[in-house]
Chain A
Amino acid sequence: MSLQEEVDLLRRIPVFAKIEPSKLKLLAFTSERLTYAADEVVFKQGDPGDAAYIIIRGSADVIIETPKGPLIVTTLKDNDFVGEIAILCDVPRTATIQAKTELEALCISKDLFFRLVREFPEMAVEIMRVLASRLELTTSRLREAVSATLE
């Protein structure tokens, strides 16, 4: 896939939709595109976080370690954005990402990520939106889980 195709692909991802093409091109050019075999681990819970990933093709499980063993929280698919928490808050990875099928992902370094967020407030807003909806989802799940245990 050439750079131009990657740029087109990035534009379909909501977070990047409003960024001008030349910046997306820079993003694509300076980001590494990585291929993972099925079952290969992208990053591990507890590792230091230095990059965020965008799933280009394939799917991956988000797994967290619980006292009862690993738990698959959700499954990522094309155009999903993952790993931004660790680089935003400077905390270790909060979950493990494992390729479910053969997986292609664009790896965006921390520096580049911050640069983009700073230069494009639209992108920051978009990320806020994604994070907020995730929080929403988590909260409602928690509510369900709590009421389930209460019963």
Chain B
Amino acid sequence: MQPTIFSYILHYSKPQQLFLLVVILASYPFLYLSLDLPKLIINKAIGGEADGDVYVVALFGVDIPFHMDQIPFLLALSFIYLGLVLVNGGFKFYINVYKGQLGERLLRRLRYQLFGRILRFPLTHFRKVSQGELIPMITAEVEPLGGFIGTAFADPMFQGGQLVIILGFILIQDPILGAAAIAFYPLQMYVIPKLQRKVNALGKRRVMNVRRLSDQIGESVSGIVEVHAHDTSRLELARFTNRLGIIYRIRYEIYRRKFFIKFLNNFIDKLTPFFFFSIGGYLVIVGQVTVGALVAVLAAYKDLAGPWKEMLTWYQQKEDIRIKYDQVIEQFEPQGLYDEELISADPPDDEPLGGEIAISNLTLAEDDGTRHLDGVAINMPMRQHTAIVGDSNSGKSQAAMLLARLETATSGKISIDGRDIATLPEAVTGRRITYVGASAHVSAASVGDNLLYGLKHRPILEKDYQGDERKQFEAELGEAEVAGNSSYDFDADWVDYDAAGADSRDALQGRIMEVLEAVDFENDVYQMGLRGTIDPQQNPEFAEKILNARFALRDRLSDPEIAPLVELFDAERYNTNASVAENLLFGTPLDETFSLENIAEHPYVIEVLEKVGLTDKFLDIGKQVAQTMVELFADLPPGHEFFEQFSFISSEDLPEFQVILTKAARGDETMEEEDRQQIMSLPFKLTPARHRLGLIDDVIQQRILEARRVFAADMPDDLRAAVAFFDSDEYNAAATLQDNILFGKLAYGQAQSANAVGTLISEVVNSLDLHTTVVTVGLDFQAGIGGARLSTAQRQKLAVARALLKRPDLLIINEATATLDPASQSKVLENVLQASEERGVVWVLNRVQEAEKFHYVVVLKDGRIVEQGKYEELMKNGGAFRDLLEAA
């Protein structure tokens, strides 16, 4: 990268900067004219200074005659003035926008380059530099650069030009006073950079400390579990205070120095007039200088002060930016940065990897001399299944990383098929070879997107843009190119179907099912699918099939043996396993309008209750519920888990309800509106089958059914978007697949009903051939930040599945299944080996017993190969391998 901000700006925007200067120069004459014209208007047009019947206007030394009367002449000049105002404004507008655009494009380029460099950092560098430091560098720290880039050359040019012109004017008027006016400039030019240097040094320290601050926030966030587990929040706060203290001190020092510079500047500025008054005045008195000349010079000096101040400000800004640039850039030039070509080159050919893995004298050492691997040498066929075993200090994990070229060896060489992998482009090592580590990263996207991530190297199919979209896309692309950004369309189809061994989307689905099954993840995704939703408009066929599943399940449930497990929704019947709110709504709330928290307060609901005459009854039931809750929970300690699990009322609200009840018991008929709302909200939460309070009797149930009908029939149009009503023959877009199939509620009090119904649904789904489709919906399940909505085992299964989908020539697995239980570990291992029959697998085992399933076993100890061979041979030898096996 360019060593300074100026060389960076020049390198990427020399023509644009020059163009900007030309435009600025071109604007000068108009600026001059607009300053000159008022004088002309007053003197010539209004004053009527005509040469006979011709008005002569001198323009840059050329006399232009106007053959007209005074009034038209005045109007003509006035309109010219108006025109000039517009032209000048136009220039200013154009120059500012141009500067902004120039700055933004360069900033965009810089950020892109910095991020590109992060992608080229050697992996070891990430042990030294944290996320918390990198993020502010690319986001906040370079931000001011954008504003500066446009003004980098334009401002000194513009202000400097003005300065020179005015200075020239003064010197022509009176050389001595002119010299006096700028007498202190050399002093300022000498002292201020000196003072500024200290400020710069402080500025550097400030940046470093702010980085550490964000680094520490990052640390605390990622270690938040430990913070709570060890009660160390005080320690964290103290550390943070420390950091803030340092930043405060630096800031304070910066302010003092910065404003001292300002003070000094202002003082020197005012010092000059002091000399004008004293010495100039003396000269006037003794008659060496005229009063007029002194006044003129004073006025000129005042004009001079503006641009001079601007120049000084620009200088300070420049220094600030210069430091920012230097400090950011130096962080992006670590040792061992991957070669650009290595990362971005296309694959040289379509040849699969094969032949032999030849490792010679491979050593991996830390800076302090610790050797993870020490002179490892081995030759073995690539297309076999190799197990690497050893204890945790054996260097087995590093060996796997080196083989996948995720580490750089200190010395030695690994070649595959005679090709040194250090020189292979990532297009080969990242496609033909695949690595899965022990804590694979799952990104905040859907499970499906995560699976396909390994197939997205380059856009394969361009997105089909139409009309305006196309124009928009082309404009975006053009802009990206101008800023030197990626010209690949993120929205294109990046999935490399060939690599996955699929010739179409459907075939890819098939492959996905295969790999999901291989890693024992299929059932998990099926469950995610049941909890997922679909848009019936987009998938009418699928919605139709789900409805069929609903009908099939209903048939099965007509069997009296299993009928009690589910209470189906029926428009004509009250569902005792659903809450009163659900019974009234008889649908799924689509937004917050009718959510369980809000439904009781909604004016329309209140109106409906009033219409069917339920209001008083609800108030009565609400009081009884409150009474029961107070009775049951009053002497439990606040925060007891029962509140959360069973109570309708939180422990904080309980005393309030007690007061309301006491008031009501005194016969206080007029309840306050707020209290009334509180009480009214309680019955909505009642589920008769679960709570068994006996408050919702048959009569009330009939009334609620009546309310249900009224609610749906009289609903104003603007509320219809807030609820998706249950309809036994319609797919409900807001409900999950499972709820759509079930179309009812699991019955309370039926032992193991959830399991039994789960099996039932599964049977129905399978009988209708819907299983795969449900899994497909499960692929849309959002994995959460860092895959947090998946369990550790699920994340690892996903990572292995992702690797399998790619069908790499060489699959390297580094204890990736260690978090699975032993039974599924064995299962996954067998499946993966079976799926990679003709391909190479190198598996760093965490369970030595599994080595039996491999063609070849390599035993590492203290960074050296101590034994290698077939499993049977090693068993016979009774060496290191047997020791490991016996220790396991």
Q: Which of B196-204, B325-333, B638-646, B733-741 contacts A (4 or more CB under 8 A)?
A: B638-646
Please name the residue on chain A nearest to B635 by beta carbon. Answer: A22
Contact B632 A2 (CB under 8 A): no
Q: Which of A27-35, A74-82, A87-95, A134-142 contacts B (4 or more CB under 8 A)?
A: A27-35
A2-B646 contact, Cβ under 8 Å, with A34-B749, A35-B749, A42-B751: no
Using an 8 Å CB-CB cutoff, how does the interface string of B376-408 with A read, 1 for contact, 0 for none? 000000000000000000000000000000000
Q: Is A120 an interface residue (CB 8 A)?
A: no
Contact B692 A6 (CB under 8 A): yes
A1-B751 contact, Cβ under 8 Å, with A25-B631, A30-B646: no
Using an 8 Å CB-CB cutoff, how does the interface string of B240-259 with A read, 1 for contact, 0 for none? 00000000000000000000
Complex: how many Å from CA A1 to CA B646? 19
Contact B750 A30 (CB under 8 A): no
- Residues 743-765 of B contacting A (Cβ, < 8 Å): 748-752
A36-B692 contact, Cβ under 8 Å, with A25-B631, A26-B632, A30-B645: no
Residues on B with C-beta less than 8 A from A33 are 692, 748-749
The smallest C-beta distance from B97 to any residue of chain A, in angstroms, reads 69
Complex: how many Å from CA A42 to CA B752? 9
Residues on A with C-beta less than 8 A from B749 are 32-35
Q: Is A122 an interface residue (CB 8 A)?
A: no
Complex: how many Å from CA A28 to CA B693? 10
Complex: how many Å from CA A32 to CA B690? 8
Residue among A25, A29, A40, A111 making CB contact with B691, cutoff 8 Å: A29
Complex: how many Å from CA A35 to CA B751? 6
Which of A1, A3, A26, A29 is most buried by chain B, counting CB atoms within 10 A of its CB?
A29
Complex: how many Å from CA A36 to CA B752? 9
Q: Is B694 an interface residue (CB 8 A)?
A: yes
Complex: how many Å from CA A3 to CA B691? 8
Q: Is A71 an interface residue (CB 8 A)?
A: no
Q: Is B729 an interface residue (CB 8 A)?
A: no
Please name the residue on chain A nearest to B636 by beta carbon. Answer: A26
- Residues 1-31 of A contacting B (Cβ, < 8 Å): 1-4, 6, 22, 25-26, 28-30
- Residues 630-656 of B contacting A (Cβ, < 8 Å): 631-633, 641-642, 645-646
Residues on B with C-beta less than 8 A from A37 are 561
Residues on B with C-beta less than 8 A from A4 are 694
Residues on B with C-beta less than 8 A from A6 are 692
A40-B631 contact, Cβ under 8 Å, with A30-B645, A33-B692: no
Q: Is B273 an interface residue (CB 8 A)?
A: no
Q: Is B430 an interface residue (CB 8 A)?
A: no
- Residues 655-708 of B contacting A (Cβ, < 8 Å): 691-694
A2-B693 contact, Cβ under 8 Å, with A22-B631, A25-B632, A26-B632: yes
Q: Is B144 an interface residue (CB 8 A)?
A: no
Contact B631 A3 (CB under 8 A): no
Contact B751 A3 (CB under 8 A): no
Using an 8 Å CB-CB cutoff, how does the interface string of B552-569 with A read, 1 for contact, 0 for none? 000000000100100000
Contact B694 A30 (CB under 8 A): no
Please name the residue on chain A nearest to B564 by beta carbon. Answer: A35
Contact B751 A40 (CB under 8 A): yes
Using an 8 Å CB-CB cutoff, how does the interface string of A58-81 with B read, 1 for contact, 0 for none? 000000000000000000000000
Complex: how many Å from CA A60 to CA B632? 31
Residue among A22, A35, A42 making CB contact with B632, cutoff 8 Å: A22
Residue among B632, B641, B750 making CB contact with A111, cutoff 8 Å: B641
Residues on A with C-beta less than 8 A from B694 are 2-4
Complex: how many Å from CA A21 to CA B751? 27
The smallest C-beta distance from A55 to any residue of chain B, in angstroms, reads 13
Number of interface residues of A (CB under 8 A): 20
Complex: how many Å from CA A3 to CA B694? 7
Complex: how many Å from CA A57 to CA B693? 20
Contact B692 A1 (CB under 8 A): yes
Residues on B with C-beta less than 8 A from A26 are 632-633, 642
- Residues 32-57 of B contacting A (Cβ, < 8 Å): none
Please name the residue on chain A nearest to B752 by beta carbon. Answer: A40
Residues on A with C-beta less than 8 A from B752 are 40
Contact B645 A3 (CB under 8 A): no
The smallest C-beta distance from A98 to any residue of chain B, in angstroms, reads 12
Contact B646 A29 (CB under 8 A): yes
Contact B750 A35 (CB under 8 A): yes
Residues on A with C-beta less than 8 A from B751 are 34-36, 40, 42
Complex: how many Å from CA A14 to CA B646? 26
Complex: how many Å from CA A76 to CA B752? 21
Please name the residue on chain B nearest to A32 by beta carbon. Answer: B749
- Residues 849-865 of B contacting A (Cβ, < 8 Å): none
Residue among A3, A32, A34, A111 making CB contact with B693, cutoff 8 Å: A3
The smallest C-beta distance from A34 to any residue of chain B, in angstroms, reads 4
Which of B694, B749, B751, B752 is most buried by chain A, counting CB atoms within 10 A of its CB?
B751
- Residues 110-136 of A contacting B (Cβ, < 8 Å): 111
A2-B564 contact, Cβ under 8 Å, with A33-B749, A34-B750: no
Please name the residue on chain B nearest to A27 by beta carbon. Answer: B632
Residues on A with C-beta less than 8 A from B646 are 29-30
Residues on B with C-beta less than 8 A from A32 are 748-749
Residues on B with C-beta less than 8 A from A35 are 564, 749-751
Residue among B564, B632, B641 making CB contact with A29, cutoff 8 Å: B632
Please name the residue on chain B nearest to A37 by beta carbon. Answer: B561
Residues on A with C-beta less than 8 A from B641 are 111
Complex: how many Å from CA A25 to CA B633? 10
Please name the residue on chain A nearest to B633 by beta carbon. Answer: A26
Residues on A with C-beta less than 8 A from B631 are 22, 25
Complex: how many Å from CA A4 to CA B693? 8
Residues on A with C-beta less than 8 A from B561 are 37
Residues on B with C-beta less than 8 A from A111 are 641
The smallest C-beta distance from B68 to any residue of chain A, in angstroms, reads 102
Complex: how many Å from CA A35 to CA B749? 6
Residues on A with C-beta less than 8 A from B748 are 32-33
Complex: how many Å from CA A21 to CA B473? 74
Complex: how many Å from CA A38 to CA B195? 93
The smallest C-beta distance from B653 to any residue of chain A, in angstroms, reads 18
Complex: how many Å from CA A151 to CA B691? 57
Residues on A with C-beta less than 8 A from B564 are 35
Residues on A with C-beta less than 8 A from B750 are 34-35
Complex: how many Å from CA A35 to CA B561? 13
Complex: how many Å from CA A102 to CA B561? 12
Complex: how many Å from CA A23 to CA B489? 67
A3-B642 contact, Cβ under 8 Å, with A33-B749, A42-B751: no
Complex: how many Å from CA A3 to CA B693? 5
Complex: how many Å from CA A33 to CA B339? 68
The smallest C-beta distance from A54 to any residue of chain B, in angstroms, reads 14
Q: List 22 A-B contacts (CB under 8 A).
A: A2-B693, A3-B692, A3-B693, A3-B694, A4-B694, A22-B632, A25-B631, A26-B632, A26-B642, A29-B646, A30-B642, A30-B645, A30-B646, A32-B748, A32-B749, A33-B692, A33-B748, A35-B749, A35-B750, A37-B561, A42-B751, A111-B641
A-B contact sample (11 more), CB < 8 A, given A2-B694, A34-B750, A40-B752:
A2-B692, A3-B694, A28-B692, A29-B628, A29-B646, A30-B642, A30-B645, A30-B646, A33-B748, A33-B749, A34-B749
Nearest 9 CB-CB pairings of A with B: A2-B694, A34-B751, A26-B632, A3-B692, A36-B751, A33-B749, A30-B646, A35-B749, A2-B692
